[in-house]
């Protein structure tokens, strides 16, 4: 088998069994029994590597093109012989405060499941392992796999949203700290955080409509009795979207508060500068009048003219300082 095939197995009555090496034989055997299906998991296949699988399972060319090209929005497409679902798993790196998204495509049809994964995250080994320990769930066939994969992806959305909420609380504490000097870095962090939330929203918001179709509509290759389970996934997805909308609003409020604080600080600085400039203007004015090379000064020939003038300037400066201090300018 190609190296991109991470796992391939046949499941009969909810229990794993060795699948034939040829996909056609495996599919025929699964359909003949009526209680079995084949699950093929792939990671970043090339067009040539995926061609054999797509031909054997009869996958639609448009869905195959989407699965190979990646960079798709979450969606659900119904074709004659298969159902195609695109999910975008989300990963959050606390060290760099970045949200990254992978892509996960799921094909389900008559007695088969094909999953195609792009990116480093969203490995399905844990989902497969959990399902293999729940044969009562797995015996429901491809529908159970689609539910388990969707549930795992959406539940991780909530975990990532909780981590973002924790980091946002730290950022808010920094914004409202009394002595923040590096205002440029704070504003840059807020903008960067908003970009991560936007990336998160691109993964979750478009998935609402596909989950609603699975939860409340009749979709081919999905059992109607699975609708309550997909409704649970849709409910968790709604919760995740509410988390994200709340984060976005809080970030906007934090940015507005930060800009307001910067304006207040600038006003305080301007008042202080104006106060010191006013105090410096007094001796400058007096010195400008009496700074000529006259004899003793103070209306020319008075011996105590200079000392008296210096005292007057000091008194005026102290008076201005006291007035500005009383008004809160200093």
Question: What integer pLDDT is reported at residue 23 of this predicted model?
Answer: 76
CATH class entry, domain 5-261: alpha beta
DSSP 217: S
- CA–CA separation, 111 vs 28, rounded Å? 9
Residue 240 has pLDDT above 50, yes or no: yes
Question: What integer pLDDT is reported at residue 2 of this predicted model?
Answer: 47
Radius of gyration over every alpha carbon of the chain, rounded to an integer in angstroms:
35
Region 43-47: what's the mean pLDDT?
Answer: 88
- CA–CA separation, 292 vs 269, rounded Å? 35
Domain boundaries, the chain: 5-261, 270-326
pTM recorded for the entire structure: 0.75
* Whole-Å CA distances, 229 to 213, 246, 288, 296: 13, 26, 87, 100
Question: What integer pLDDT is reported at residue 1 of this predicted model?
Answer: 45
Give, for 15, the enclosing helix (H) or strand (E): strand 15-17
Give yes or no for a contact between 145 and 39, defined as CB atoms under 8 angstroms apart: yes
What is the average pLDDT value for the chain, to the nearest integer? 82
Which residue has better confidence, 172 or 50?
50
For residue range 186-239, list pLDDT tens digits in order. Answer: 777 888 888 888 889 999 999 999 999 999 988 888 888 889 999 999 999 999
**What is the percent of the chain where pLDDT is above 70?**
86
For residue range 118-169, list pLDDT tens digits in order. Answer: 877 656 888 888 998 998 888 888 999 999 999 999 999 998 888 888 888 8
For residue 66, give the nearest of 84, 89, 90, 88 by alpha carbon: 84
Give yes or no for a contact between 294 and 300, defined as CB atoms under 8 angstroms apart: yes
For residue range 306-327, list pLDDT tens digits in order. Answer: 677 777 777 877 887 787 777 7
Tokens of 208: 């609402």
Tokens of 150: 């969707």
Which residue has better confidence, 134 or 94?
134
Residue 242 has pLDDT above 70, yes or no: yes
């Amino acid at each position: 088998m190609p190296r991109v095939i991470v796992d391939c197995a046949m499941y009969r009555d909810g229990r794993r069994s060795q699948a034939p090496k040829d996909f056609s034989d495996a599919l025929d055997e699964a359909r003949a029994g009526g209680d079995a299906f084949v699950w093929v998991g792939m990671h970043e296949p090339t067009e040539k590597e995926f061609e054999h699988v797509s031909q054997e399972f009869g996958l639609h060319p448009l869905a195959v093109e989407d699965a190979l090209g990646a960079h798709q929005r979450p969606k659900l497409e119904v074709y004659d012989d298969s159902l195609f679902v695109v999910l975008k798993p989300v990963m959050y790196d606390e060290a760099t405060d970045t949200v990254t998204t992978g892509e996960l495509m799921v094909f389900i049809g008559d007695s088969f499941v094909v999953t195609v994964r792009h990116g480093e995250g969203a490995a399905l080994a844990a989902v497969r392992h959990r399902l293999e320990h729940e044969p009562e769930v797995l015996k429901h066939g491809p529908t159970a796999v689609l539910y388990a994969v969707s549930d795992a992806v959406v539940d991780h959305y909530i975990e990532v949203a909780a981590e973002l909420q924790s980091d946002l609380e730290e950022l808010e504490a920094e914004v409202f700290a009394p002595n923040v000097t590096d205002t440029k870095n704070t504003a840059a962090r807020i903008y960067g955080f908003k970009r991560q939330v936007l990336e998160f929203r691109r993964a979750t918001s478009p998935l609402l409509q596909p989950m609603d179709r699975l939860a409340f509509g009749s979709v081919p290759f999905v059992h109607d009795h699975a609708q309550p389970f997909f409704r649970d996934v849709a409910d968790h997805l709604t919760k995740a979207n509410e988390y994200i909308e709340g984060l976005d609003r809080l970030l906007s409020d934090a940015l507005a508060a930060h800009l307001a604080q910067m304006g207040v600080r600038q006003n305080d600085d301007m008042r202080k500068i104006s106060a010191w400039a006013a105090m410096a203007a007094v001796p400058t004015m007096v010195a400008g009048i009496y700074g000529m090379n006259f004899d003793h000064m103070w209306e020319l020939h008075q011996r105590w003219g200079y000392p008296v003038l210096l005292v007057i300037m000091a008194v005026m400066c102290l008076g201005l300082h006291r007035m500005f201090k009383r008004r809160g300018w200093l």
